[in-house]
Amino acid sequence: MVDRSAGYWLKTEELLLLGLCTWVFFSTSLPWWYYPLFLFVPDFSMLGYLVNPSIGAFFYNLGHHRGLAALVLLGGWYIGNEMLVGAGAIWLVHISLDRLLGFGLKYRDQFKHTHLDSL
């Protein structure tokens, strides 16, 4: 029997991060409609797959890198730029939503091969 508890905890973590970053976004003075408008912008990183799976994986993973999104959010907070705080928060929400739905970081061989495959 396979223990799937790690998947449960990872999904719980993603859900909590999604909620926290949603709260961060709505604590700014940015218009509410920025949230749905920009939520799927990171998916433009999939366009690299039009070249080949290796390039596609690189750009997809870059567009779904939690560290880069956190740098945008924290950088915006540090310099007092609400637009960057909001952008970083939405970016982190998108990443958490993707991970909740089973879309993980990609390996170079094919789009469906992700780091979440073993969970």
Whether the CA torsion 84, 85, 86, 87 is positive or negative: it is: positive
C-alpha span between 30 and 100 (Å, rounded): 26
Residue ranges of E strands in 1-119? none
What is the DSSP-derived secondary structure letter of residue 119?
-
Q: pLDDT (tens digit, 9 = 90+) per residue, 73-119?
A: 999 999 999 999 999 999 999 999 999 998 877 778 876 766 666 55
Q: Is the pLDDT of residue 38 over 60?
A: yes
In this prediction, residue 104 carries a pLDDT of 77
* pTM, to two decimals: 0.89
Partnered with residue 79 across adjacent β-strands are none
